[in-house]
Chains A and B, each alone.
Chain A
Amino acid sequence: MNGLEERFRRARRRGCSLFIPYITGGYPDMKSCRRIIEAMIQAGAEVIELGIPFSDPIADGVTIQESTFRALQAGATPKGVLELAGEISASHDISIAILTYLNPVYRMGLRRFMEEASRRGVDGIIIPDLPLEEAGPVKRIAMEYGVSLILLAAPTTSDERLARILDETMGFAYLVSLTGTTGERDALPPTAIQLLQRSKRLNPVKPVAVGFGVSRPSQAVELARLGADGVIAGSRIISEIRRSMENPEKAVGRLVREFVKALSSPGQ
């Protein structure tokens, strides 16, 4: 069992779910990004989802798209973001999951990318345009370097596929809560609940984290009560940064603390 999965197990034994904040690497710039991540960790986040920006993020809504373009304009590169991951992982006991699209990984070379990720203390990688059928070669090389390839499942995924995804994914399964792109939503979609329940029924063991559209601690708590081992928020974090550009780390720290606290005893 790898570190990421173990972290979810430990949280489950404590009766809590993990809050996983996302930030686009190099947004709003590399230095501020690092400070914001430090604030997330201070606020209790144990798993950070760190994006390597890609010019054509087809699974993302406008909020994350804009952060991507901003980060690229500020000079973010795959190598630079992996270095940032290295600095963070060297000084904190946390897990880092990289989120990026396949092309930047492919360009660097699968082997070189995984080797570099592993050297920088990256625990897992999430690639939204790499479905189960195409994942084989990437997973083999990731495994060689001890990096977990985290697969995604969606409300449109059939039970048969979902069972295979839960079986094949490493670390945890990323459950996409709705049919759509990333972005904040007012209410938790019913599809999120159904997908979560199906996942738990098909595979009670594999940790699952729910993402896309989660914007409030109360939504996170609802998901945790239904069995989510983790809850991911991305657009909510990015818009918090955008709203408080003079001191984003303070605002993000406060937000992350709320989520972490809510998830530390979701049964209450």
Chain B
Amino acid sequence: MKYNLPTSDGRFGRFGGRYVPETLMEALSELEESYIKLKNDPDFRRELDYMLREYAGRPTPLYYAENLTKIIGGAKIYLKREDLLHGGAHKINNTLGQGLLAKRMGKKRVIAETGAGQHGVATAMACAVLGLKCEIYMGEIDMERQRMNVQRMRLLGAEVHPVSSGSKTLKDAINEAIRDWVTNVETTYYLLGSCVGPHPYPMIVRDFQSVIGAEARSQILEKEGRLPDYVVACVGGGSNAIGIFHPFIEDKEVKLIGVEAGGEGTELGKHSASLVRGLEGVLHGALTYVLQDEDGQIAGTHSIAAGLDYPAVGPEHAYLKETGRAEYTTVTDDEALQAFLTLSRTEGILPALESAHALAYAIKLAENLSRDEIIIVNLSGRGDKDLETVLRRLGR
């Protein structure tokens, strides 16, 4: 069966949709129309491909982690090296795409939210190179724990607005960005960083991130002459995961595994595992899985990886979970930290703590598989930004 979602009303099964204030409805329609018109426009494709290649550094290698594989003694582990991209994470795939879209739509001001700061930095880079004015909303707590990224954004010419409402993290930064967009909708492009939010964002972000999976698929066919048995990626909002999963969805023999942040316990507030432990609900414009209490108030979240610290998830993941096409699991803070150390020492690669979640699960998985099986892990970002967190945890 051909996989052709979302539907024209933005649904992945019953998930997704457009649950936003009326003020934004015309803007979302305008965005959808512009995107659909441009996505197959040869000029637009050429410009985006050029920027991805010459500016961002695509294609990224699919690296056979031979040392790691030998130590574990099970399945072969390949790493899709998104950490090598400009900015150090997969986020630039989306910000270049949407930045070009904003420019074609004639919008001069771009706003975005950021949690760990990776999307904020990637947005600031795209806006700088494309000549767009850039303003970033970031929770005060995140600004404190990701100080370097705040400085990077400012050096790149972006204005960073601290958000002091609610939990002062990513969810509140999104609230504030939506409030800005509601106010300035006619002049402003909202550059959402994950496959969350109202339609058409989950589709647009997925499409721009699907370059990861498309490359990985042809690279593994070239190296191994066959498809992998598993594709593993971490899931916060879920953009790197949907990007690598999507081109494999119709390859039924390839198992897709999303790894959420198990944090430091299974109670509400101690983790960020929306798919594994959340309930259906509506947040930031989409019907999806949401971490919430019995009254429908959005719960606090925790993860050692700031980029996974979000109480909802992209609606397409909710659909893939429900249909069983993808499986979702969790990895704790400690396990992610162990995987961070393991990869650093065996392969000389410092992974982002987000990506270390995927890696930790892949390591457990590989142990129980035979040597002729293949796992691809999406190494979505590099770990330099996490040094402070890691050193603090190690007591150094």
**Is A58 an interface residue when CB atoms closer than 8 A count as contact?**
yes
Q: Give the complex CA separation of A155 and B22 in angstroms.
A: 9
Whether A155 lies near B23 (C-beta < 8 A) is: yes
In the complex, the answer to whether B296 meets A104 with C-beta atoms within 8 Å is yes
B21 touches which one: A55, A59, A62, A77 (CB < 8 A)?
A: A59
Inter-chain residue pair count (beta carbon < 8 A): 120
Across the interface, do A161 and B25 meet the contact criterion of CB distance under 8 Å? Answer: yes
Docked-complex contact B19 and A134, CB < 8 angstroms: yes
Contacting A at CB under 8 A, from B317-366, are none
A267 touches B (CB below 8 Å): no
Best-surrounded residue of A58, A72, A107, A156 (most CB of chain B within 10 A): A58
Q: Which residues of B contact A72 (CB under 8 A)?
A: 297
CB distance from B105 to the nearest CB of A (A): 15
Bound state CA distance, A69 and B209, in angstroms?
36
Please determine whether B165 and A129 come into contact, CB atoms closer than 8 angstroms: no
Asked if A233 is at the interface (CB within 8 A of a chain B CB), the reply is: no
A180 touching B297, Cβ below 8 Å: no
Whether B22 contacts A152 by the Cβ 8 Å rule is yes
Say yes or no: is A78 at the interface (Cβ < 8 Å to chain B). yes
Q: Let me know if A30 is at the binding interface, CB within 8 A.
A: no
In contact, A180 and B25 (Cβ under 8 angstroms): no
CB distance from A52 to the nearest CB of B (A): 9
Judge whether B20 is part of the interface by a CB distance below 8 angstroms: yes
Whether A107 and B23, one on each chain, are in contact in the complex, defined by CB atoms closer than 8 angstroms, is no
CB contact between B171 and one of A56, A128, A157 (< 8 Å): that residue: A56
What chain A residues lie within 8 Å of B297 (beta carbons)? 54-55, 72, 104
Considering only CB atoms, which chain A residue lies closest to B24 in the complex?
A156
A202 on interface, CB distance cutoff 8 Å? no
Inter-chain contacts of B9 with A (CB < 8 A)? 133
One of B18, B185, B298 near A131 (C-beta < 8 A): B18
In this complex, what residue of A is CB-closest to B294?
A: A107
B178 at the A/B interface (Cβ < 8 Å)? yes
Residues of A within 8 A of B165 (CB): 62, 65, 69
From A56, A104, A155, give the contact of B175 (CB < 8 A): A56
Distance (Å) between the CB of B176 and the closest chain A CB?
9
Q: Is the CB of B279 within 8 A of A107?
A: yes
Contacts of A155 in B (CB 8 A): 23
Contacts of B166 in A (CB 8 A): 55-56, 69
Residues of B within 8 A of A104 (CB): 295-297
Which are the 4 A-B pairs with shortest beta-carbon distances? A107-B296, A104-B296, A154-B23, A180-B183
Q: Which of B's residues lie within 8 Å of A, judged by CB? A: 9, 17-27, 165-166, 171-172, 175, 178-179, 182-186, 279-285, 290, 292, 294-298
CB-defined A-B contacts under 8 Å, sample of 9: A58-B178, A59-B21, A103-B282, A106-B282, A133-B17, A152-B21, A152-B22, A155-B23, A176-B23
